[in-house]
Chain A
Amino acid sequence: MQLNDEEQAMQRGERGPAVKEAIDFQVAVGTFFGAKRFVPISNAHMMGDIEVMGDAGLSRLKQMAEAGTHCAVGITTNARCVDFDHVKQLGQVEDEVEKERQIIAHLRQMNVITADTCINYQTLYQPHLGEHVAWGDTGTVIYANSVFGARTNFEGGPSALASAITGRTPEYGFHLDAVRRGNFTVELDVDPSDFADWGAIGRLVGEPHQSYYAVPVFSGPGGAPLRRAPTSDELKHLGASLASYGSHAMFHMVGVTPEAPSVEAALGGNTPTDRMRITREDIDRVYAGYDVKDGCCNLVVFSAPQLSLFELKRISELLDGKKLAPGSKLFVTTSNAMKRSASELGYIGRIEAAGGIVLEGVCFYILQDLTPMKQRMGWSSLVTNSAKLVNTITAHRFNTILRRTEDCIETALTGAVK
C-alpha cells in the first residue's frame, strides 16, 4: 500500500502505540485485498459485546483502553448481548453481565458512543452519496451502500475500531466503483406486503448467489421501477436478509437507490450472470418450506434488525387489548432511544400489557447465554417475521419458522403455528 506522510508517521509509532497497532492491522488487511491506499472515513460503527468477544476480546480491549487509545472520528456501537434491566428475568450469568459492563466502560474511555443499536442508519447517522464510512453489522453495511450510496465494507469489531482510531480505511471492496456495479438482475413480479415477504425475497436471492461480491439489481417486471417503492423498514428487512443469506454488501433497486436510475445504469456495463424473476408463488414456497413440527410454538420474536418506531407502533396495535397464550413468550428488541420514544407514546405499555417483553440495546440472536436459556425456557420452535433471525440463530439449534407479522402475533396469542 502507498502510505502518505501522516500514515507513515502512524506506522513509525509517532502517534502512539495504539495508533501504530491499528494502522499495522489495517495495512495487513489492505495488503491482503490489494488496496493501493487508505481513504478517510467520517463515521464508524462497531460490534463489541462479551458474547462475541469473549474473555480474550475483553482483555484486549482493556489493554487498549489503558494504553490511552482514542477514537478520532465518531463511532457508535452495535446491539449488545445484555439488557441490564432484564438480566434476572432471562436468567443470564451475572459474571458475563459484569464483563459486558466492563466492555462498555472501556469503549467509553476510548471515545466510543455506546449507542447499542443495529439501526444506526435509521436513528443516528445517515451518510451521504459517496461518503466513506467503516460499519458493521452487515445490515448496516448493506443499507449504507445501497440506500444511501455511501461506501463501506463489512467491518468486524476490531477493524471498525481501528478505522475510528486512524480515521481511515483501506480502499478495497465496496469503496471502489467497479465492485459496486450490479452483476445479476432480479425482477420482482410480486407486490410484497410484509417485512417477512421482503426477507423471503432476500433469502431467495441471497442463498443461490452466496458471495460478498454478488450485487443484485432489483426492478419490477421488464426493468421498470417497482409498482410501490418500499419504505425504509422494508428496505431494512430486504438488506438484512440479503446480507445474511448471501453475504451481500450491496443491492440496487431501480428508481429507489441512488446508483440505480435504470437497470443498465446499475449494471454499469456488466453482463448479468443471472436473471431471476420472483413471484408470489416463490415467496409462498419459502413459507411452506419451514417445518412446524407439532404445530405448537411458545416463542415469537421481533428482532434482527431492531425495530423502528413505526414497527413498534404496529406491533403495539396488533397486541392492543389482547393477551399472549399461557406459557408463550413474545420478545421485541429495539434501541435504547426507540424504546424511550415508544414508551412515551404508549406503544411499549400496550405490548407489555399483552405480556410481551421489550428488550433495549440488544438483538435476540446475540443474547448472552442463549443456548442454556433456550433449554431452561423449554423453547424449541421460534416464529419470527425476520428472515435474518431465522438464519442467524441456527447455531443455537432453534427450529426457526418465518411468518408474516400478523401470523406471528396469532402464534403468540394462540401458541399454535400453521
Chain B
Amino acid sequence: MNATVKPVLLTIAVDRAAGPVVEGEAVISTEGFSPRYDLDRWTGVISKPGHKLEGVSIRDKILFFPTAKGGIAAGWAFHDIKGKGIAPKAFVFGVTNPVMVQGAIFADIAITEGWSPDPLAVIRTGDRVRVDPARRVIELLERAP
C-alpha cells in the first residue's frame, strides 16, 4: 500500500483508539448509533425510520457518530456483520460506550473515541479519510468531488 505517501489535508486528534489502520469514505452522522436500534444487520443499511442516516449503507465506510445508543448487542453484532461482509472499516465516536469498544476490538474493526476538532465542522460525507489508531489520529486525504 502506498497510503502513507498521500498528502494529508487535515488531522483530527482522538483521545482513545484501537484496531488496524484503515482508509475509506467518511459518513458523518449528527445522530448517535446502535447496531440494534438503527441497523438492518442483514443488509448493512441504516433502517430506523427517521434516523439521520436512514437508507445509508455502512459497508466499508468510516462512520462518524457523536454518541453511542443502547446497547449490549454490539458485542456480538460487529463480529456478525463483519462475517456477513457488511461491516464498516471504522467507528469514530465523540463519546462511545464500552460495548462498542469491546465489539469493535472483538471484530478487529478500528474504533476511536473523543475528537478535536469536531469532525462535523471539518469533514463531510464522501470525503476520503484514514484512521490510524496507534497514532491516535484521523487524517483527511481527499475531499469528496
> How many Å from the CB of B92 to the closest CB on chain A?
14
In the assembled complex, B131 has its CB within 8 A of some CB on chain A: no
In the complex, A123 Cα to B41 Cα: how many Å? Answer: 31
In the assembled complex, B48 has its CB within 8 A of some CB on chain A: yes
Known contacts A32-B105, A47-B72, A397-B47; is-contact A392 B99 (Cβ 8 Å): no
| Contact call B95/A154, Cβ cutoff below 8 A | no
In the complex, A56 Cα to B76 Cα: how many Å? Answer: 9
In the complex, A392 Cα to B72 Cα: how many Å? Answer: 11
Interface readout for A360-396 with B: 1 if CB under 8 Å, 0 if not? 0000010000010000000000000000000110111
| Contact call B99/A244, Cβ cutoff below 8 A | no
Say which residue of A53, A55, A60, A136 sits within 8 Å of B72 (CB atoms): A136
In the complex, A376 Cα to B121 Cα: how many Å? Answer: 44
Which stretch of B3-11, B30-38, B122-130 is in the interface? B30-38
| Contact call B83/A55, Cβ cutoff below 8 A | yes
Known contacts A28-B105, A210-B69; is-contact A136 B37 (Cβ 8 Å): no
Interface readout for B34-71 with A: 1 if CB under 8 Å, 0 if not? 00111111000001110000000000000000011111
Interface readout for A69-104 with B: 1 if CB under 8 Å, 0 if not? 000000000100000000000000000000000000
Say which residue of A28, A47, A212, A244 sits within 8 Å of B98 (CB atoms): A212
Interface readout for B76-97 with A: 1 if CB under 8 Å, 0 if not? 1101111110000000000111
Say which residue of A53, A154, A247 sits within 8 Å of B67 (CB atoms): A247
Give the residues in chain B near A365, CB-CB below 8 Å.
36
Give the residues in chain B near A318, CB-CB below 8 Å.
none
Known contacts A395-B39, A395-B47, A395-B48; is-contact A157 B16 (Cβ 8 Å): no
Judged by DSSP, the binding face of A is: helix
Interface readout for A142-176 with B: 1 if CB under 8 Å, 0 if not? 00000000000111111110000000000011000
Give the residues in chain A near B82, CB-CB below 8 Å.
56
Give the residues in chain A near B95, CB-CB below 8 Å.
211-213
Say which residue of A29, A47, A160 sits within 8 Å of B101 (CB atoms): A29
Give the residues in chain A near B40, CB-CB below 8 Å.
371, 395
Give the residues in chain B near A53, CB-CB below 8 Å.
76, 79-80
In the assembled complex, A268 has its CB within 8 A of some CB on chain B: no
Known contacts A155-B99, A210-B32, A394-B38; is-contact A136 B16 (Cβ 8 Å): no
In the complex, A365 Cα to B72 Cα: how many Å? Answer: 13
Say which residue of B48, B67, B68, B76 sits within 8 Å of A52 (CB atoms): B76
In the complex, A243 Cα to B99 Cα: how many Å? Answer: 13
Give the residues in chain B near A32, CB-CB below 8 Å.
16-18, 101, 105, 111, 113
In the assembled complex, A25 has its CB within 8 A of some CB on chain B: yes
Judged by DSSP, the binding face of B is: mixed
| Contact call B75/A158, Cβ cutoff below 8 A | yes
In the complex, A337 Cα to B47 Cα: how many Å? Answer: 35
* From B73, B80, B99, residue with most partner A Cβ within 10 Å: B99
| Contact call A173/B98, Cβ cutoff below 8 A | yes
> How many Å from the CB of B6 to the closest CB on chain A?
27
| Contact call B37/A395, Cβ cutoff below 8 A | yes
In the assembled complex, A225 has its CB within 8 A of some CB on chain B: no
| Contact call B103/A56, Cβ cutoff below 8 A | no
| Contact call A247/B71, Cβ cutoff below 8 A | yes
> How many Å from the CB of A382 to the closest CB on chain B?
13
| Contact call B79/A60, Cβ cutoff below 8 A | yes
In the assembled complex, A57 has its CB within 8 A of some CB on chain B: yes
| Contact call B76/A156, Cβ cutoff below 8 A | yes
> How many Å from the CB of A214 to the closest CB on chain B?
9
In the complex, A53 Cα to B74 Cα: how many Å? Answer: 10
> How many Å from the CB of B41 to the closest CB on chain A?
8
Say which residue of B39, B75, B84, B113 sits within 8 Å of A159 (CB atoms): B75
Say which residue of B16, B41, B47, B99 sits within 8 Å of A156 (CB atoms): B99
Give the residues in chain B near A55, CB-CB below 8 Å.
80, 83
In the assembled complex, A269 has its CB within 8 A of some CB on chain B: no
Say which residue of A34, A47, A247, A394 sits within 8 Å of B73 (CB atoms): A47
In the complex, A243 Cα to B36 Cα: how many Å? Answer: 13
Say which residue of B80, B81, B97 sits within 8 Å of A154 (CB atoms): B97
In the complex, A29 Cα to B32 Cα: how many Å? Answer: 21
In the complex, A161 Cα to B79 Cα: how many Å? Answer: 15
Give the residues in chain B near A78, CB-CB below 8 Å.
72
In the complex, A403 Cα to B110 Cα: how many Å? Answer: 40
In the complex, A157 Cα to B35 Cα: how many Å? Answer: 14
Question: Which residues of chain A from 165 to 191 have any CB-CB distance to chain B below 8 Å in the complex?
Answer: 172-173
In the assembled complex, A138 has its CB within 8 A of some CB on chain B: yes
The residue of chain A having its C-beta at the shortest distance from the C-beta of B103 within the complex is A156
> How many Å from the CB of B37 to the closest CB on chain A?
5
Give the residues in chain A near B102, CB-CB below 8 Å.
29, 155-156, 158-159
| Contact call B84/A54, Cβ cutoff below 8 A | yes
Known contacts A28-B105, A52-B80, A156-B76; is-contact A138 B71 (Cβ 8 Å): yes
| Contact call A210/B67, Cβ cutoff below 8 A | yes
Top 7 closest A-B pairs, CB basis? A156-B75, A56-B83, A54-B80, A136-B72, A212-B97, A159-B102, A156-B99
Could you list 7 examples of A-B contacts with CB < 8 Å? Answer: A52-B76, A153-B98, A158-B103, A159-B102, A212-B96, A247-B67, A395-B40
